Amino acid sequence: MVRVLLLIMSVLLFAVQQVSAFEVIYPSDKKNVTTNDYAFFVGKAKSAECLTINGHSVPVASNGAFAHSVKLKEGENRIVLRTAYGIQVYKFYKSNVTEQPIPTENFSPVKAYVKNDNTPLRSTPVDAGLNRLSHLFEGTELVINGSKGSFYRVFLSDKTEAWIAKAHVTLTDDTFQPAEFMNMDSERFKNAMIQKISFNKKLPYTVEDGENEIIFRVYNSELGEESVYNINIPKPEKYSYSVNLEQGTYTFKVWRLPEDKNEITVVIDAGHGGSERGAIGCLGDEEKNINLKIAEYTAEYLKNKDINVVMTRECDADMSLNDRVNYARENKADIFVSIHLNSIADIPMNVHKNRGTSVYYFNNNAKQLAEAIEENVTHYAKTRDDEVRTASFAVIRPTDYIGVLVETAYMTNPFDSVLYRNDKWLKKAAKGISEGILDFIKK
């Protein structure tokens, strides 16, 4: 009897598995522990199956892709995905993290040295966002007079303070010795302007990209009073700039984008690659592969328009963010366009809103390019206008090229997945990106 029952049960189970066509791609585990506010699901189902998640009806795209997020309560959450033919249950344990506010400590000024080049000096003690004032050089001498969490407060002048990660500086008990000003010198070229200022040691600086000029400020902080050197360089409409420090001599350079398009080098960067897959789509597609296809079509399109194009990767290879930036610099990039597809995780998914094209920039010099690409991709690839935004991505932070990052569509949007699985659409997206770059160059 028991054996017959088992047999019937296993036949039934087999039957259920056969007809249950829905599959969850993410999350990969049925049991999850998280601090996120939302549980995010992507996968495939047949639209006729009428998928629900915790009772909410979930729209399914023509290719079967779906995405949905569920708000989590603290503790145990049971999430049931159900179709006419099957059921899958996921468990999420949400642990509560209550962050204690960190107090600011004040102390008497101490001298410190910056350990490495390219160290971010920030306006707030937070390791994220758009709060970078400059990138300091190894050996820069600082006055530290407080701390908060993992940051030290930097005294720049009576009016200006900044923050630097504790891990990036060495504190010393060296005595304070204000720097001696040596000299100042400027050179004007047809397309560039260079300003030099020398001291007998390495001082901190900040950059402000103003309305009509770039303002570099060097602080003789050890004087303990307002002692700031302002270097204002007028900026052309399309521009880049760089800062160098040798011994105690700063070289600030601002230059214009070449007017002749044959003199412009565009670097096309296919995001991720190799072991870094990027976002995973509803149907299990890997972002890195789609990025590469769009990047190849973009490069081809631009080459046909006589633009000098360099690609950071041309196959499925690992490449660090630093390597991408260095490679662009070695190739004297004027314009840098990083190609990606977006994803969402810890926010409420809205299949109608979280889709389409967005272009990100970090420096003001790339805003126009971002807008031109947004306009052209939404026009040619018929994607939703998901706006131009600012973000602090490593590959678009350098100021010596004009850099943007394009999120062509959303990997995690079921309706966008219909687009990015179609080669014709990939070509249209590439055309949009290319025409955006060409519009920017022409303007």
Rank residues 226 and 314 by Cβ distance to Zn ion and give the closer one.
314
Rank residues 58 and 404 by Cβ distance to Zn ion and give the closer one.
404
For residue 271, the minimal CB distance to Zn ion (Å) is 4
For residue 389, the minimal CB distance to Zn ion (Å) is 15
Residue type at 73 in one-letter notation: K
Residue 270 three-state SS: strand
Rank residues 141 and 287 by Cβ distance to Zn ion and give the closer one.
287
Rank residues 154 and 341 by Cβ distance to Zn ion and give the closer one.
341
Query: Does 271 contact Zn ion by CB under 5 A?
Result: yes
**Residues whose CB falls within 8 Å of the CB of residue 138, separated by 6 or more in sequence, listed in order:** 114, 115, 116, 117, 119
By residue count, the chain amounts to: 443
Rank residues 235 and 340 by Cβ distance to Zn ion and give the closer one.
340
Q: Which residue has the tokens 């047949």?
A: 46
**Residues whose CB falls within 8 Å of the CB of residue 297, separated by 6 or more in sequence, listed in order:** 426, 427, 429, 430, 431
* Contact window for Zn ion (CB under 5 A) among 153-161, 265-273, 301-309, 435-443: 265-273
Residue 178 three-state SS: coil
Name the residue whose CB lies closest to Zn ion.
340
| Partners of 250 in beta bridges | 197, 245
* Contact window for Zn ion (CB under 5 A) among 138-146, 269-277, 377-385, 393-401: 269-277
* Contact window for Zn ion (CB under 5 A) among 1-9, 226-234, 276-284, 356-364: 276-284
Rank residues 86 and 278 by Cβ distance to Zn ion and give the closer one.
278
DSSP-derived pairing of the beta strands 402-410 and 265-270:
unpaired
**Rounded Cα–Cα distance for residues 112 and 221 (Å):** 12
* Size of residue set near Zn ion by CB under 5 A: 3
- Among residues 86, 146, 273, 278, which is the contact residue for Zn ion, using CB under 5 A? 278
For residue 407, the minimal CB distance to Zn ion (Å) is 7
Query: Does 281 contact Zn ion by CB under 5 A?
Result: no
**Site map 332..351 versus Zn ion, x via CB under 5 A:** --------x-----------
**Site map 170..209 versus Zn ion, x via CB under 5 A:** ----------------------------------------
Q: 291 near 317, Cβ under 8 Å?
A: no
Q: Which residue has the tokens 């949905």?
A: 68
Sign of the dihedral through C-alpha 235, 239, 245, 249: negative
**Residues whose CB falls within 8 Å of the CB of residue 394, separated by 6 or more in sequence, listed in order:** 321, 322, 325
Q: 211 near 200, Cβ under 8 Å?
A: no
For residue 283, the minimal CB distance to Zn ion (Å) is 17
Query: Angle at the Cα of 73 (from 72 to 76), degrees rounded to 5?
Result: 95
Rank residues 83 and 357 by Cβ distance to Zn ion and give the closer one.
357
Q: 352 near 417, Cβ under 8 Å?
A: no
Rank residues 57 and 322 by Cβ distance to Zn ion and give the closer one.
322
Binding site for Zn ion (CB under 5 A): 271, 278, 340
